[in-house]
């Protein structure tokens, strides 16, 4: 990490913008993460990404095993600047990576004897996997999940839109996380890495500015 470069780039931003970066970074977490599996309504993936940003989830993992790479043009509303987007062709590749990073795989589904949202243990790192409203999660996820999570429902309808489900779950769990003694924050190195990435995405012609900086240096 070139801290001098970071300071140089921040000189192109307002103090208000720099302060906002620090505030948001202080609330970012990788204790929880989100994965979506073959979401047909592409605007829902964009909505889930915005939900991750709103509740401080830094990483979104998207599996497009059946759909192919159709998602790029649908990611909108600026959230892609702030949330790290990871794409996979296989759900196994996705869950293998998440487990290697220390996450338990939690399938979100109303059709299993899952843990009610308010009883979920927030102490362990967890990756919440969401499927489509129509088809739900694949057997590959359901058979290999480390646990199941459900939102208590009291009406005739047994499913929620994926973006609504993600918002309900993240609001509950992140709020509880922030009130706990769990070390959920990013490391200082992670914060600096993200800050540099965000600064680069914020400044127009940042590549040219960086090139000129190193030439003069």
Q: ∠216-194-181 over CA atoms, to 5°?
A: 145
Average pLDDT, the chain: 89
Residue 79: the pLDDT is 66
Cα 140 → chain centroid: 21
Taking the C-alpha atoms of residue 149 and residue 167, their distance in angstroms, rounded to an integer, is 14
Global confidence as pTM: 0.90
Among the listed residues 52, 45, 102, 107, the one whose alpha carbon sits nearest the alpha carbon of residue 76: 45
CATH class for the domain made up of 29-187 = alpha beta
Q: Could you give the 3-state DSSP secondary structure of residue 149?
A: strand
Residue 73: the pLDDT is 47
Q: 87-92: which pairs have CB atoms within 8 A and are 24 or more residues apart?
A: 87/61, 87/62, 87/63, 88/61, 88/62, 88/63, 88/64, 89/63, 89/64, 89/65, 90/63, 90/65, 91/37, 91/63, 91/65, 91/138, 91/140, 91/141, 92/140
Residue 76: the pLDDT is 47
If pLDDT is split at 50, 70 and 90, which confidence band does 110 have?
Answer: confident
- For residue range 38-76, what is the model confidence (pLDDT) as tens digits? 776 667 888 899 999 999 999 999 998 765 555 554 554
Among the listed residues 133, 168, 144, the one whose alpha carbon sits nearest the alpha carbon of residue 37: 133
Q: Could you give the 3-state DSSP secondary structure of residue 93?
A: helix
């Amino acid at each position: 990490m070139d801290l001098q470069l970071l300071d140089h780039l921040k000189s192109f931003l307002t103090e208000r913008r720099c302060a906002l970066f620090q505030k948001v970074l202080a609330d970012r977490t990788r204790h929880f993460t989100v994965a979506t599996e073959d979401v047909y309504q592409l605007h829902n993936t964009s909505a889930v990404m915005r939900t991750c940003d709103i509740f401080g989830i830094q990483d979104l993992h998207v599996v497009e095993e059946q759909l192919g790479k159709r998602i790029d043009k649908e990611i909108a509303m600026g959230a892609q600047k702030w949330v790290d987007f990871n794409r996979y062709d296989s759900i196994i590749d996705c869950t293998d990576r998440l487990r290697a990073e220390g996450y338990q795989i939690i399938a979100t589904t109303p059709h299993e004897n899952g843990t009610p949202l308010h009883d979920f243990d927030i102490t362990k790192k967890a990756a919440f996997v969401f499927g489509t409203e129509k088809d739900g999660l694949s057997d590959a996820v359901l058979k290999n999940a480390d646990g199941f999570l459900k939102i208590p429902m009291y009406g005739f309808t047994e499913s929620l839109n994926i973006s609504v489900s993600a918002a309900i779950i993240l609001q509950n769990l992140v709020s509880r996380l922030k009130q706990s003694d769990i070390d959920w924050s990013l490391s200082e190195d992670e914060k600096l890495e993200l800050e540099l990435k965000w600064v680069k995405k914020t400044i127009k012609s940042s590549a040219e500015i960086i090139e000129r900086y190193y030439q003069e240096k």
